[in-house]
Amino acid sequence: MGAWAIAVHGGAGVDPNLPKERQEEAKRLLTRCLDIGISALRSNLSAIDVVELVVRELETDPLFNSGRGSALTENGKVEMEASIMDGPKRRCGAVSGLTTVKNPVSLARLVMEKSPHSYLAFSGAEEFAKKQGVEMVDNEYFITEDNVGMLKLAKEANSILFDYRIPAVGTCGASAAMDSPLQMNGLPISVYAPETVGCVVVDKQGRCAAATSTGGLMNKMSGRIGDSPLIGSGTYASELCGVSCTGEGEAIIRSTLAREVSAVMEYKRLKLHEAVDYVIKNKLDEGKAGLIAVSKDGEVACGFNTTGMFRGCATEDGFMEVGVW
Amino acid sequence: MGWAISVHGGAGDIPLSLPPEKRLPREAGLRRCLDVGIAALKAHNHPLDVVELVVRELENNPHFNAGKGSVLTTSGTVEMEACIMDGKTMKCGAVSGVSTVVNAISLARLVMDKTPHIYLAFDGAEAFAREQGLETVEMSHFITPENIERLKQAQEADRVQLDYTQPIQKEVPKDAALADGDSQIGTVGCVAVDNEGNLATATSTGGIVNKMVGRIGDTPIIGAGTYANHLCAVSATGRGEAIIRGTIARDVAAVMEFKGLSLKEAAAYVIDQVPRGNAGLVAVSSTGEVAMPFNTTGMFRACATEDGYSEIAIWDSPTK
């Protein structure tokens, strides 16, 4: 049979001035998640189970922008979204607008397996969650002090903030954001969907799966949906590969980034690494994003055109790497 | 080269025995929308404006599953979604969960033009509509007696209907063409290209009958139900879940780009990959070609090209 491979990410687009301590914290979390995934793979869990397990861990930890620790909407609340896809039959599930579901990725899985649909959102999704008996908590559970501070800075800078995870000390956050004023959709606001999380896995049977989860953009309009729950954009898995993206949501959607990797492998017959390089180089135009991917042959790859991407990957032959830059 | 336009009013197991009172208004609707689009193209309007205009017409027509005439959720409510995309700039806008906005496609356009985002949904979308001064009405405006009936039947049959066609006649034997008896129509769309090769697409829908509240289909998902780039513009219709999984709209363009197929070949290829009875699409290319393939019993469709060709059809050759 084939060999397993796994990759995780905690967001593309890292502030070059990010304090060392934060970088180390991120690497520790990524390592922990990789270990959880590796252990599950060694116990023969299927790819779809492993991606869910790992993303749950990322959602539960407040460090990255998903589940607890999610970025806040302009109203100071949390609205989360996630999607999951199973390569073999391209089954998929997605959710958006979650405010009380502890683990969005698990609800996405339930949409895939227990509903006649592929995508549920807002109150309908919450209703479904209640009926499925998943763990629900108050919206406050997801809100961290750090993010309350970041939202304030974002409003002061009157921009959608790239969630730097800089401790909210004075104005360094706002000025850092304004130091590199990037454009999104032609409007002068900062970019980068901050620290979305994701995981892609291929198991020993060669089955690929992918899952992505996020709180979205800091200071986003309530009701805004990004790339993470959109099949083909933030998440995609087929017989050939599994892909999870992160970065400027709008750029990822426009380029249907996750699907692109698989399409290029399928139609141009590129191998995984070539496909990832090709797509990052040619399909993003001015957009800034990154992605992780695995192939049915046990390969793992990541690519990004941002300054850094929190990521980790491992393969069955013992290779393991966690990085930021 | 030359301009080209194609519109659809939904693909599904439209029975060959469709009674005139159901067929004629839809054909007339398609004809009228096609004419509106042709006139706009001849007047040199940008394809983005053309597709929005045409889809607004389709939304206002109660015989199609979009805007007025939208199918109902399991709670008897209307939750509309729409999406628009510009092939040249790749800018796009999408909305879901819209219940009071008369023209969801125009709201999608505003999301594209007036926000830093691509996609707004539910309360957020409704609030934005009001901020923008879009025309809003009571939800009852969109609800038609036919759709109340469809919902009732679907709930009795305890199944999710894609939309229209077979109101479930318990006594009447089912058409042999039906795969599993689920009626499969829904969604309206328009794609257009001008004689400079500018492409645009727009899709709008009420979704599927008896859908769960909060269910989002393929229409607002870029790459699934709606997509345009410099090669072509595509609007798909059918079973949302299959269209999402197959990233149908994106694949037409991808196959053209990566396999070098023509629009017609690419469109046919992509529809072929979807299980029978699940999808159809309309597409135009930058060079003015048109394709309208479907693997369902029928698809309400119409198209016209600058050289004078025009067509309105429901059934027949799925290789268009």
pLDDT at position A156 is: 77
Sheet holding B290-291, edge to edge: B226-228, B232-238, B279-285, B290-291
Residues with Cβ within 8 Å of residue A124, at least 6 apart in sequence? B212, B213, B214, B215
| Closest CA–CA distance from residue B216 to any residue of chain A (Å) | 5
| Closest CA–CA distance from residue A226 to any residue of chain B (Å) | 7
Model ipTM value = 0.91
- B123 CB neighbours in chain A (<8 A) are 122, 222-223
* B190: in domain: yes
Q: Using one digit for the tens of pLDDT, what is the confidence trace for B141-165?
A: 999 999 999 999 999 887 665 555 5
pLDDT at position B149 is: 93
CATH (domain of B96): 3.60.20.30
Q: CA separation (Å) from A149 to A16, A64, A68, B10, B155?
A: 20, 15, 15, 48, 49
| Mean of pLDDT values over B295-311 | 96
In total, the C-beta contacts within 8 angstroms joining chain A to chain B are 155
| Chain A CA closest to residue B119 | A225
For residue B18, the enclosing domain spans 4-313
* B141: in domain: yes
* B319: in domain: no
Helix (H) or strand (E) holding B82: strand B80-86
Catalytic residue among A73, A100, A196, A256: A196
- A267 CB neighbours in chain B (<8 A) are 254-255, 258-259
pLDDT tens per residue across all 325 residues of chain A: 689 999 999 999 887 777 899 889 999 999 999 999 999 999 999 999 999 999 999 999 999 999 999 999 999 999 999 999 999 999 999 999 999 999 999 999 999 999 999 999 999 999 999 999 999 999 999 999 988 988 888 787 765 554 443 333 333 334 444 444 544 332 233 333 357 999 999 999 999 999 999 999 888 999 999 999 999 999 999 999 999 999 999 899 999 999 999 999 999 999 999 999 999 999 998 899 999 999 999 999 999 999 899 999 999 999 999 999 9
Cβ contact, residue pair B127, A236, below 8 Å: no
Mutate to test the interface with A, among B112, B162, B215, B239 (most CBs of A within 10 A): B215
* B24: in domain: yes
- Binding site residue list of A: 224-227, 246-249
Which of A119, A189, A263 has the CB atom closest to B215's CB atom? A119
* B318: in domain: no
* B218: in domain: yes
Asked whether the CA dihedral B204, B208, B212, B213 is positive or negative, the reply is positive
Mutate to test the interface with B, among A127, A250, A266 (most CBs of B within 10 A): A250
Burial of B32 (0-12, 13-18, 19+ CB in 10 A): middle
The angle formed by the CA atoms of residues B214, B227 and B234, to the nearest 5 degrees, is: 110
- Number of residues that make up chain A: 325
| Closest CA–CA distance from residue A117 to any residue of chain B (Å) | 6
Instruction: State how many domains chain B has.
Output: 1
| Chain B CA closest to residue A252 | B222
DSSP class of residue A268 equals: S
pLDDT at position A179 is: 43
Which of B96, B116, B240 has the CB atom closest to A189's CB atom? B116
Mutate to test the interface with A, among B247, B248, B270 (most CBs of A within 10 A): B247
Cβ contact, residue pair B215, A263, below 8 Å: no
Query: Which two three-digit tokens encode residue B95?
Result: 């909305």
Residue B181 has pLDDT above 50, yes or no: no
pTM for the predicted model, two decimal places: 0.91
Q: Using one digit for the tens of pLDDT, what is the confidence trace for B84-140?
A: 999 999 999 999 999 999 999 999 999 999 998 999 999 999 999 999 999 999 999
Which of A119, A128, A221 has the CB atom closest to B216's CB atom? A119
Residue B199 has pLDDT above 70, yes or no: yes
Please check whether residue B83 touches A, CB under 8 A: no
End-to-end CA distance of chain A: 34
Q: What is the CB neighbour count within 10 angstroms for residue B265?
A: 15
* B280: in domain: yes
* B106: in domain: yes
Closest listed residue to residue A247, CA positions, set A257, A262, A232? A257
Does residue A114 contact residue A131 with C-beta atoms inside 8 Å? no
Query: Which two three-digit tokens encode residue B245?
Result: 């999984």
pLDDT at position B172 is: 32
Complete domains list, chain A, with CATH: 5-142+190-317 (3.60.20.30)
DSSP class of residue B138 equals: -
- A224 CB neighbours in chain B (<8 A) are 117, 119-120, 124
Q: Are strands A289-295 and A241-247 parallel, antiparallel or unpaired?
A: antiparallel
